[in-house]
Chain A
Amino acid sequence: MAAYKLIGKDFLPPDVIGKVTGRAKFAEDFRAEGMVFAKLLRSPMPHGLVRRVDAAQALAMKGVLGILTAADLPKVTAPAEPILTSEPLYVGEPILAIAAVDETTAADALDRVKVELEPLPFVLDPLESLRPGGANARTEGNVAAPNLKLQTLKWSARDFTAVREGELPRGKPAEEWHYGDIEAGFRQADLVIEESFITQALAHHAMEPRSALAYWQGGKLFLHGSTQSLAFSIPPLTRILGIEPANLHYVSENTGGGFGSKAAAYTQMAIPAFFAKKLGRPVMLRVSREEEHDFGRSRPGFQGWVKLGFRKDGRLLAADLYIVQSGGPYGAVNDFRNAGRHVSLVYQPLAMRWRGMPVLTNTPPRSAQRSPGETQTSIAMDPVIDKAARKLGLDRVAIRHINAPRSDGTIGPKREPLTSSFLPEALELGAAQFDWAAKQALSGKRTGSKVTGLGVGIGYHAAGNSGFDGLVLIRPDGKLYIHAGAGNLGTYSYAATARAAAEALGMPWERCEIVYGGTGRHVPWTCIQAGSNTTFTITRTNHVAAMDARRKLQEIAAREVGGEPAAFEVGGGRVFLKAEPAKGLAFAEAAQRAIALGGKYSGQELPKDLNPMTARSAAALAGQGLMGVAKDTLPRNGVIPGFCAGYALVEVDVETGQVEIKEYLGVADCGTVIHPKNLGNQILGGAVQGFGMALLEKHVYDPKYGIPATRGLATSKPPTYLDVPVNMRWAAVGKPDPQNPVGAKGAGEPPEGAAAAAVLCAISDALGGAHFGRSPLTCDIVLNAVEGRPQPFKPLDTNI
């Protein structure tokens, strides 16, 4: 492994001090002179048509400044999400906004707005929508997904009756793929098992609600928002707003979590922007927790079925997977597709078929959530793998290990290659550190009312991308300024990836500054800050930008000192002759020279392949120092898999159904570890969310009225300190990915699925292999199972 000065060492990201002192500014912490407040009137019903709005009384109130309705806003074509709607598609969808001088007056005014709504049929459970004659979530249809047109698809009565009670009906799918001959695989298999399953939808509930403040000045929009991405949010945002990127000054210094729900732009941020324009005053939209639940996005639930054929030694010969997705009203999620890719990768079946049906539901809009589709798949698949292991008499780690991809593994129907996979190593390291083999003796052991169970689970997400731009500047003060287009949502990857630039230039970290937090900071075009993408992608862009700066330093030094550029080395803030290190220039001098030289050296001439955003930023910085700027054209071939193996030990109280997680270990394959302390926080933080998915969190709806029960945090139940082990452990394989300059790949997403699956498997283990095919396993479900009582719902019932 390369000897790094910075990569792999802990450091202090620059925003931490602000976070512990309260100085860090989130969107709702900003104020603007003359600022007024918008408040939303939202739908009380899951689907309806606004027939009449009478706001006269509200608008006559002192202090009320105006109203914004769908009529004031650009129209969108279904199934796209409107900013305000006149056909609400879920409870809590914004219909109109009122602005007033203070928030209380705005709320009082809303009380006086009369809205007549005509209720329309609604659907919460995708299977209900697929029945012949079942309701559609939208007047225009019931099935849609990205790149799949909005349409109406129903299954036949025969499709529903062809299956056993509790088995997923499998009518014609909207999409499917396959490779190999699954029927032959099942014929050759020594064991074939089949299971239906359900994972429930749940809210992201990022801690910071998505408040936004907007005002206009000189035709330019100043917007303070809460998004994960900075640069990547600009194109969708300007599209929603209908303005040129040059006219948007977007500020997002700190984002209070997103987990996918704030990946880029979302329509609700446009409300204060349009309202501010209409009123000619700054408008703050302070989003409440209930609103964050309602329109702050959620993970789609799955109803699924899987059939697996194993050889005696545990090798998976054939897999057949069917996923029905509850897609919310806008269907904008790929989770159902990711499920198929997950199975094809994690278990490398020799033959596989995937079928998917993305159904629309009158529930909160969906978005990616930490390992979108993959976390649900971990939850669904790992317990089935355990079941197979038991039937085959195999160790549960061993059956995962034999199927796990090596670096020559493939993914998807086209059997795409991988950049690297060290999942087998992660499983091995975990088994060793967890003492898996020795702990088997504890499995099923009862002490009083408590029974111990052990579980292992695998989380995965494609973690990286390429083709974005990097931008660094060495200023005459001799410092290296690394411009970060990534957002700052708590993963610190905007900072850790910056170290790849410093590393490439041998620059002491104290003399580096990361420039981030808003478009006003002149940032390069950068990948989405989501899906564990940044680490792989931005270490590459920062590397190529730094290498560009390095070349320019060498050239300038060659001019000044004489000799070939290649004869020069950079390091310690200097560029110097390798043979005679005393001869050279300090970066400060080189920056002065670059300014004097102009042209490519100081950003007056730019590479042609840059994204326009990078070009704009670079132009704004031109002439201020020595600029390194480049598009990442480094070779890349294949999908970049990030993995996590989770190991859990639980105690199930068979008298109450309560589960206590006693021990947890997460082991990542994320390539080179670039920031150990933060990696630990990600692996364990992801695990906490996984525990929530395994044991507590879900969307609950009254089926008759279509109204949600779990809108607050007290009812959504994210895990607290007392619901997780008081000590948790993590480790990483640490083998470099060959297609990244520092060997890194993403790490943040896979820990959630790994932990959730490990806990669910451990519960089954404690209960002698009891299979639930469902999550979360709340204490009522566990207790009913232990007591041999029937569950109060059907196996595939959702939202309960």
Chain B
Amino acid sequence: MDASKGRSRSSHGLSRRAFIQGVIAAGAAVSSVNYLFRGNALGQGAGRGVAERLLTLTVNGQQRRVDVLDQETLLMTLRYKLGLTGTKIGCDRGECGNCTVLIDDVPVYACSTLTRIVHDAPITTIEGLAAPGGRLHPVQQAFVEELGPQCGFCTPGQIISAVGLLKVNRKPTRAEIAEALAGNVCRCGAYDHYLNAVQRATELI
């Protein structure tokens, strides 16, 4: 098997079965004993049985059943259990913003949020923004038009923060955008282009 040929697949519009197949095609072994977190099979869980660990998450409009440990962060659930690798790990400490997702339309750091705590709220990740046919969300479109990203590692988090802002403020000023995106570091320093992009997005929406 050649993992380099694997493409990431967003969950969007895929049934659970299709999704699991998609991930397996991409090389991930989603099986009863997951490979990231210690399962009960290892005898060191904090007391919950497998049945009890199963949660239903609403991610990008899809209901997803997933086995979640008590100490598991949403970031790890998304990336290693649900195959949603668009949400990035930059620091795992609430210090970069790469892991930003929307919970109930509010931007939060997935690295600093336990999955079990937010499991009953709708979660939106970068994979959930484009329309089912693949048409980009206006913010994504604007990021493309303004050549927002440099390396692109911080980009999903930037876009999610911008989407969160535009949900509560449709016509933010440049300074308001900077305030709202201040929890997203860009080490490449693409701030000026990102600000241009969010301003452009307000015209596209």
Contact = CB atoms under 8 A, between A and B. Distances in A.
Asked if A pairs with B, the answer is yes
Interface of A: 10, 12-13, 15-26, 28-37, 62-63, 101-105, 108, 205-209, 213, 215, 217, 222, 224, 249, 251, 254-257, 259, 282, 286, 288-289, 489-492, 518, 520, 677-678, 680-682, 684-689, 712-714, 718-722, 724, 726-728
A713 B95 contact: yes
Interface of B: 1-4, 6-8, 10, 23-24, 26-29, 33-39, 42-44, 71, 79, 83-93, 95-96, 98, 125-127, 129-130, 136, 140, 143-144, 146-156, 159, 174-175, 178-179, 181-182, 184-193, 195
Given A289-B92, A713-B90, A721-B178, 18 more contacts: A19-B149, A22-B85, A25-B7, A30-B4, A30-B26, A37-B35, A63-B42, A105-B38, A207-B154, A209-B90, A213-B3, A254-B152, A677-B193, A680-B193, A681-B147, A681-B188, A681-B190, A712-B93
A288 B92 contact: yes
Nearest to B179: A722
B145 to A, nearest CB: 9
14 contacts: A23-B8, A26-B88, A30-B27, A31-B6, A35-B35, A108-B38, A249-B4, A257-B151, A520-B4, A689-B189, A713-B91, A713-B95, A721-B178, A726-B174
B187 A205 contact: yes
B46 to A, nearest CB: 11
Contact of A22 (B144, B156, B174): B156
A684 B79 CA distance: 32
B187 A289 contact: no
A282 B186 CA distance: 31
A62 B41 CA distance: 9
Given A257-B188, A726-B195, A490 B3 contact: no
Given A21-B126, A256-B153, A207 B93 contact: no
A249 B1 CA distance: 13
A224 B143 CA distance: 27
Identify which of B4, B23, B36, B92 gathers the most chain A CB atoms within 10 Å of its CB: B4
Nearest to B85: A29
B44 to A, nearest CB: 7
A15 B152 contact: yes
**Which 4 A-B pairs rank lowest in CB-CB distance, beginning with the nearest?**
A22-B86, A688-B189, A490-B151, A256-B153
A34 to B, nearest CB: 6
A728 B178 CA distance: 13
Contacts of B150: 257, 490-492, 681-682, 685
B89 A32 contact: no
Nearest to B125: A22
A697 B179 CA distance: 21
Contacts of B192: 680-681, 684, 724, 727-728
Contacts of B136: 17, 20-21
B5 to A, nearest CB: 9
B149 A207 contact: no
Nearest to A206: B187
Nearest to B147: A677
A217 B1 CA distance: 8
B187 A35 contact: no
A259 B150 CA distance: 12
Contacts of B29: 31, 33-35
Contact of B27 (A19, A33, A63): A33
Contacts of B187: 205-207, 257, 259, 689, 718
Given A257-B151, A713-B91, A727 B86 contact: no
Contacts of A490: 149-152, 188
A713 B183 CA distance: 12
A19 B155 contact: yes
B53 to A, nearest CB: 14
Nearest to A100: B38
B90 A208 contact: yes
Nearest to B154: A207
Nearest to A204: B187
Contacts of A30: 3-4, 6, 26-27
B127 A102 contact: no
A689 B136 CA distance: 31
Contacts of B93: 289, 712-714
B151 A208 contact: yes
Contacts of A680: 192-193
Given A16-B147, A289-B93, A681-B147, A726 B175 contact: yes
B126 A208 contact: no
Nearest to B24: A33
